[in-house]
Structure 1
């Protein structure tokens, strides 16, 4: 045991009337929601990078956090960080965690040493996971921070960088497989461009498609049974990224024959940057059959960049979980807190409290979503709005042609009268539950 969280007890459920800032008011892991334990619905995960690797900097200022494992330039500090991480998982009773390779091992500058230290940390994690029961939701590779990735990874104009990226993903997929990870995520942090003046779009997209096919092939070769996920983001750090939003990612997957092999991990903050709502992206992925998992956070609506704050908006979260539940819930996916403290929140207790609040917000949102589904009001309104399509002649029209449809309009004198969409009534309905 370390003394980093000294004096902070394990977080317990105390109910909605509790005023204890270090207690769950809504998240009760064993509460049954639509026939399933709340913990099994939500499948919470703690993000290693924001909780333990981030130093509190922003584009205008450097490190504000002082952690005993900084800098992570040796294995002793890497293992100390792991010790503290698993203590937080235990305090929160979080069932899962996620990590990038660069979060957990020193950066040596060469692949052989990076792979060796990652392998050593994988064994260290395995012992802790066996002792605590904490599981790995997903692993991934950081292919955006080091200067070698400045022009992309799989899309890089230098074939040596492509090779380094392929080797890196292999090592990270091996580590994820060894730890029983339930997913593997690829986020193309710099898979995009700054200017078209020096970018061959078709070549870069083809290389990215081939790279992802290689990942899928290797998954099957080693018998990894988890899900391969890609994560959309429209911009930042690149001016324009190829994985812009869910629809763009689906088009990419379809173009390279991967739509049945790869699902999508959707982040709330990235959805906002793309000009969408979180529920839009989830509903789109569900409609296209590629919904996989989520990164839960929020953006500051006064800022034009990805602020990765912990969620605190129950109505937003409720609508997200409504579409997740409607899609059948998670399979291998979960709710990963891709969220970080504000750079002024310096203390260990801030890190605990942030997760407690986020977990409670998600629990409230889940219960509201389940209540709406069980009440059936939104489904009834939807059914009423599309009722005309249950008519046999309407269904037949979809298998007809323009000429026949035009003749039907003439024969029947069809002259539609618009009907209200009742948006405000439905918004008021949602507010009854949140």
Structure 2
């Protein structure tokens, strides 16, 4: 039975670049073929359950502004209604996937046994809806940062009982993700960090987090979960210093604890900005190590000091992001989710649809631009020419040599190199031809 929440709104369709319909796709054509693959299969869009349906419109300085039929979110009847509305929106947008935290789906019950029961109940309900729907589960994860029990961390908590509660919580969410056919399982350590070193044993906390993640990988294989385990870097929100600061930090962590062949990264544009990076930097770092798994393509407000999770609207940023995704071979089990977090003044159902339409369209424009740059080959030509000197056998031989022999070669040949222009301005102008 229809909920009526989206009454008056029609299924979103592709109308082309000349369309003035604010609730139509101008660039996202699911069946358009880009570099030999359908656009839908490149982008693999997933609606994020949390900001789309669970967020109530608060911010650090103000309380709830949204009034939804499933409020308050403290009972299972409203959780089921929220799921009904979610699947209606998935159908309106014709998206292939969704993603979730457990706390998005059902209210926290205050104890593990009841949390487990309600999680099983709501995911059974969702599984029934999936049987007649297009949208599948891209990934699930556990919210281990909102409840006060997590205030000092989950796997890094000084209290072993909290570690145990976290382990049980992750197991139950992995089981739920597996049940829903999820293609990935994500761990984001929102409280895996510290506020002050005065009461923190860094080495012990990092070792516990490494052991915890190894347990997750072991359990994945035990239950036959074929998806990818992903960790999501984030620098300093909410903890003052988080152990999963950025892609490079996470890669170092994974290598230290022997997980580099088992775990990849779920990278978010907004988190990259908080870490002082560009999104393409984080993607390039992950891709260089073979650890690029999935992406969260939202954005920050550059005038705010926190993660505002707005839907993407910057084509040049998105194009450069997908340039690195495509160069890395595209997504395997991963995809593109974006929070499409509404502003607190955007109260209506059509605002929620418009946010997703806009975000999906910007991603489509960025993907097309990225593919065009790859097919043109201008950037790859520049890289090949800039590093061409290393194709010389003598240059390669240096890498297997030693400092003394290299010094003698400089003296014998009178090597005195002249700097060569990096031509950054020309390259930036080149990118702007496509976006």
- Give me the TM-score of the superposition, normalised by structure 2: 0.99
Could you tell me whether the CA contact under 8 Å between 1:296 and 1:339 is conserved in 2?
Answer: no
1:115 is matched with 116
- Cα distance in 1 for partners of 2:108, 2:290 equals 38
- Cα distance in 1 for partners of 2:290, 2:27 equals 31
- Indicate whether 1:332 and 2:333 are aligned: yes
1:372 is matched with 373
Q: Secondary structure at the match of 2:298?
A: coil
Could you tell me whether the CA contact under 8 Å between 1:143 and 1:165 is conserved in 2?
Answer: yes
Q: Which moved more, 1:223-232 or 1:126-135?
A: 126-135
1:174 is matched with 175
**Equivalent residues in 2 for 1:156-305, closer than 5 Å:** 156-305=157-306
Could you tell me whether the CA contact under 8 Å between 2:142 and 2:187 is conserved in 1?
Answer: yes
**Equivalent residues in 2 for 1:127-166, closer than 5 Å:** 127-166=128-167
Instruction: Write out per-residue CA displacement over residues 386-412 of structure 1, whole angstroms, 9 at most, x where no aligned residue.
Output: 000000100111011101100000111
- Cα distance in 2 for partners of 1:17, 1:142 equals 42
In the TM superposition, residue 337 of structure 1 has moved relative to its aligned partner by 1.0
- Cα distance in 1 for partners of 2:429, 2:311 equals 26
Could you tell me whether the CA contact under 8 Å between 2:91 and 2:134 is conserved in 1?
Answer: no
- Indicate whether 1:427 and 2:424 are aligned: no
Could you tell me whether the CA contact under 8 Å between 1:182 and 1:225 is conserved in 2?
Answer: yes
Q: Which moved more, 1:106-115 or 1:165-174?
A: 106-115
- Cα distance in 1 for partners of 2:255, 2:412 equals 41
In the TM superposition, residue 74 of structure 1 has moved relative to its aligned partner by 1.1
Could you tell me whether the CA contact under 8 Å between 2:235 and 2:275 is conserved in 1?
Answer: yes
Could you tell me whether the CA contact under 8 Å between 1:11 and 1:23 is conserved in 2?
Answer: yes
- Cα distance in 1 for partners of 2:300, 2:60 equals 16
4+ residue stretches of structure 1 with deviation over 6 A? none
- Indicate whether 1:416 and 2:417 are aligned: yes
In the TM superposition, residue 86 of structure 1 has moved relative to its aligned partner by 0.3
- Cα distance in 2 for partners of 1:102, 1:18 equals 38
In the TM superposition, residue 133 of structure 1 has moved relative to its aligned partner by 2.1
Q: Secondary structure at the match of 2:367?
A: helix
- Indicate whether 1:57 and 2:52 are aligned: no
RMSD of Structure 2 on Structure 1 (CA): 0.5
2:361 is matched with 360
Instruction: Write out per-residue CA displacement over residues 341-360 of structure 1, whole angstroms, 9 at most, x where no aligned residue.
Output: 00110000000000000000
- Indicate whether 1:392 and 2:393 are aligned: yes
- Cα distance in 2 for partners of 1:72, 1:365 equals 36
- Cα distance in 2 for partners of 1:270, 1:244 equals 9
In the TM superposition, residue 223 of structure 1 has moved relative to its aligned partner by 0.3
- Cα distance in 2 for partners of 1:203, 1:101 equals 28
Could you tell me whether the CA contact under 8 Å between 1:227 and 1:262 is conserved in 2?
Answer: yes
Q: Secondary structure at the match of 2:364?
A: helix
1:93 is matched with 94
Instruction: Write out per-residue CA displacement over residues 46-87 of structure 1, whole angstroms, 9 at most, x where no aligned residue.
Output: 000000000000000000000010111111100000000000
- Cα distance in 2 for partners of 1:219, 1:182 equals 12
In the TM superposition, residue 338 of structure 1 has moved relative to its aligned partner by 2.4
Q: Secondary structure at the match of 1:346?
A: coil
In the TM superposition, residue 199 of structure 1 has moved relative to its aligned partner by 0.4
- Cα distance in 2 for partners of 1:30, 1:133 equals 15
- Cα distance in 2 for partners of 1:289, 1:42 equals 19
2:317 is matched with 316
Instruction: Write out per-residue CA displacement over residues 135-166 of structure 1, whole angstroms, 9 at most, x where no aligned residue.
Output: 10000000000000000000000000000000
- Cα distance in 2 for partners of 1:339, 1:162 equals 32
Could you tell me whether the CA contact under 8 Å between 2:94 and 2:134 is conserved in 1?
Answer: no
- Cα distance in 2 for partners of 1:54, 1:10 equals 23
- Cα distance in 2 for partners of 1:370, 1:133 equals 27
Could you tell me whether the CA contact under 8 Å between 2:191 and 2:239 is conserved in 1?
Answer: yes
Q: Secondary structure at the match of 1:420?
A: coil
- Cα distance in 1 for partners of 2:131, 2:249 equals 39
In the TM superposition, residue 304 of structure 1 has moved relative to its aligned partner by 1.3
Q: Which moved more, 1:117-126 or 1:264-273?
A: 117-126
Count of residues in Structure 1 that have an aligned counterpart in Structure 2: 434
- Cα distance in 2 for partners of 1:122, 1:310 equals 27
